[in-house]
Structure 1
Amino acid sequence: MIHYFQETTMAYRETEKMRQRKAEARKNIIECTWQCVEEGGFRSARITRIAGLAGVATGTIYRHFESREDLFAEIFRLATQREVDKVKEALSIKGTATERLENSLRKFAERALKGSIKAWALIAEPVDPKVEQERLIYRKAYASLMEQAIQDGISEGCIPEQNARLSSTCLVGAISESLVGPLSPAQTASLPTTHTDQKELIDSIINFCMRGLTGTRS
């Protein structure tokens, strides 16, 4: 009599505890990477340094992220979403559309000057194509929020009739580009350090933006 034995294998099942440990390890890597970016931009976020801060081997990082570019893209998404949320919050105050837009521009500039290295990394630092793609996505997100506010202003009568989408893109470009010089690590001397200097810079940016948007500025 011949007996046939069917070989069976038990499928690997990831336990909840293991999933939690992996999630915690990934979060730790992200936090350590962001620490590097806050201290010196993406250029200072070397994998060996991140691994050292996270207390893991460099190979562990690549088990969570396929490449350095993927890690940086994830960092950029998380960090920029926080900034987009702040702009949305600034646009939600009570007041006219122009008041809400001015508040959002002011908060954007104040946060950028307060965290200049972080802001430079998010706004203008040369980055890999995958991260640059994320930058374009979030510039559109900023513009989309402002476009709605401009449309509100047109309906209210406090903003003249115009192409709201194009105007919102111009606003995002104007405030971003106007901050590139002051934020640039190559021009640290141009970064305003006193409250008065910062207010003067921000007021100048806002006056330019709002004058272009409304045609007037009181």
Structure 2
Amino acid sequence: MTTPESAPRTLLERVSPPEVAQRPAARDGLEWRPLSAADLPALERLVAACERIDDPPYRTTAAELSETLFEGESRDPGRNTITAVAPDGSLVAYGRVRVLPGDEGMVRAFLGGGVHPDRRRQGLGREILRWQTDRARQMLADAGRDTPLRIATYVDDGMTDHAQLLAGAGFAPLRYYTDMRRDLALPVPAPTALEGSLVVEPWTAELDESIRVAHNEAFADHWGSEPQTPETWREGTPTSLRSGASS
């Protein structure tokens, strides 16, 4: 028997979603609005400027931005993205929120975005993060799942501005990942022969779905792992690899 004090909190009590995810107030001639596919060229320039300073171990293409923000059934850029537009039409900051459609054991809302290096330390990042967390709480409530919930993002080494922004808002590191890289100028050794009936083959479009299913089985008990749907699996496969597999 439970008392009111010990009764489990409802989903709405846990998430505390605001009625409205309020956009930042207009200032300095900036217009705040959702992103659209027409913004891709300007967004690519903004992201490239951020990546030149933050220096993550990758560079993001326009095709990847389009896929991340505008393609797929689970996208809703009109509600789940925001950008600050300067008087000259350039984008100086943006943010996005997404709840992954395949989550089962834990529903996660992932945040992403950036502020142009020339406009940092002006409060734009804090305003975007405030909107993102409000929108994430709404989306987690809308998911209607009585499971653990999480608002999360990724920070690469070198993104000190982003890390400081998140820490100031109460976020804390939960897990660390290591990306391994290789000098592509070096020769590629031949695959080691495998015993039994196993063979090493190139990744192909025909094998892709079987690989996704095998991945989900292999990571079923892995910490923090959730099933990959065909949509999220496609997003996690580099565009260049998919192009090579389908050619």
Q: Same fold (TM over 0.5)?
A: no
TM-score of the superposed pair, with normalisation by structure 2: 0.26
TM-score of the superposed pair, with normalisation by structure 1: 0.29
Greater share of strand = 2
Greater share of helix = 1
